[in-house]
Structure 1
Amino acid sequence: MKKLLVLIALFSFSVLANAQNPVGVFENHADVGTVLLKGSATYDNATKTYTLSGSGENIWFRKDALHFAYKTMKDNFLVSTQPSLVGQGVDPHRKSGWMARVDADSSSAMVCLTVHGDGLTAFQYRKLKGGNIEEIKIPMLQADVLQLERRGRSYIVSVAKLGQPFWSVEIPDFDFPAELMVGLFVCAHNKNVLEKATFQNTRIFAEVK
Structure 2
Amino acid sequence: MSRFRLLLLTAALQALAGAASAQAPAQTPPVAPAPSIAPDWAYPDSPTHKQGPPPPDFHRPTTVIATPIGVFEGQADVGSALVPGAASFKDGVYTVTSAGYNVWYTRDEFRFLWKKMSGDVSLAADIAYPDAKGFFDRKAVLVIRQTLDDDSPEALVALHGDGMIHIARRPAKGARINDMEYRIGSRGGLPGGASPDSLVILHAKRIGIQKSGDDFTLWVSERGEPMHQYGAPLPLHLKEPFYVGVGFVSHLPVTLDTAVLSDVVLENAAGRVR
What range is the shorter-chain TM-score in? 0.7 to 0.9
CA–CA separation in structure 1 for the residues paired with 2:179 and 2:259: 22
CA–CA separation in structure 1 for the residues paired with 2:167 and 2:235: 15
Q: Secondary structure of the equivalent of 1:207?
A: coil
> 1:84-114: per-residue Cα shift (whole Å, max 9, x none)?
1220344211110201110011111011110
| Corresponding residue number in structure 1 for 2:178 | 134
> 1:19-46: per-residue Cα shift (whole Å, max 9, x none)?
722111100011000311111111112x
| Corresponding residue number in structure 2 for 1:37 | 83
Structure 1 or 2: larger strand share?
Answer: 1
| Cα drift, residue 172 of structure 1 | 4.1
CA–CA separation in structure 2 for the residues paired with 1:139 and 1:32: 27
| Corresponding residue number in structure 2 for 1:12 | none
Pairing 1:177–2:239 present: yes
CA–CA separation in structure 1 for the residues paired with 2:87 and 2:80: 18
Q: How does 1:52-131 map to 2 (within 5 A)?
A: 52-131=96-175
> 1:122-159: per-residue Cα shift (whole Å, max 9, x none)?
11210111101001012533331111110011012111
Letter of the structure 2 residue corresponding to residue 157 of structure 1: L
The structure with higher relative contact order (CA 8 Å, sep 6+) is: 1
CA-based RMSD: 1.9
Q: 1:112 to 1:40 in 2, by over 3 A?
A: same
TM-score by length of 1: 0.84
CA–CA separation in structure 2 for the residues paired with 1:79 and 1:95: 16
| Corresponding residue number in structure 1 for 2:93 | 49
CA–CA separation in structure 1 for the residues paired with 2:80 and 2:69: 22
CA–CA separation in structure 1 for the residues paired with 2:155 and 2:223: 24
CA–CA separation in structure 1 for the residues paired with 2:169 and 2:234: 12
Structure 1 or 2: larger helix share?
Answer: 2
CA–CA separation in structure 1 for the residues paired with 2:130 and 2:108: 21
> Any gaps of 5 or more consecutive residues in structure 2?
1-64, 186-200
Q: Secondary structure of the equivalent of 2:175?
A: coil
Question: Is residue 24–residue 43 contact of structure 1 (8 Å, CA) maintained in 2?
Answer: yes
CA–CA separation in structure 1 for the residues paired with 2:262 and 2:103: 23
TM-score by length of 2: 0.65
Fraction of identical pairs, as percent: 23
Q: Secondary structure of the equivalent of 2:152?
A: coil
CA–CA separation in structure 2 for the residues paired with 1:166 and 1:139: 18
Letter of the structure 2 residue corresponding to residue 203 of structure 1: V
> Which entry has the higher C-alpha Rg, 1 or 2?
2
Question: Is residue 35–residue 66 contact of structure 1 (8 Å, CA) maintained in 2?
Answer: yes
> Any gaps of 5 or more consecutive residues in structure 1?
1-18
Question: Is residue 169–residue 234 contact of structure 2 (8 Å, CA) maintained in 1?
Answer: no
Q: Secondary structure of the equivalent of 2:258?
A: strand
| Cα drift, residue 73 of structure 1 | 1.1
Match of 2:212 among 135, 140, 151: 151
Letter of the structure 2 residue corresponding to residue 58 of structure 1: N
Letter of the structure 2 residue corresponding to residue 147 of structure 1: G
Question: Is residue 154–residue 170 contact of structure 1 (8 Å, CA) maintained in 2?
Answer: no
Q: Secondary structure of the equivalent of 1:118?
A: coil
Q: Secondary structure of the equivalent of 2:269?
A: strand
Q: Secondary structure of the equivalent of 2:68?
A: coil
Letter of the structure 2 residue corresponding to residue 63 of structure 1: R
CA–CA separation in structure 2 for the residues paired with 1:179 and 1:34: 23
| Cα drift, residue 167 of structure 1 | 4.2
CA–CA separation in structure 2 for the residues paired with 1:77 and 1:170: 17
Pairing 1:187–2:231 present: no
CA–CA separation in structure 2 for the residues paired with 1:91 and 1:113: 18
Residues matched between the structures, number: 189
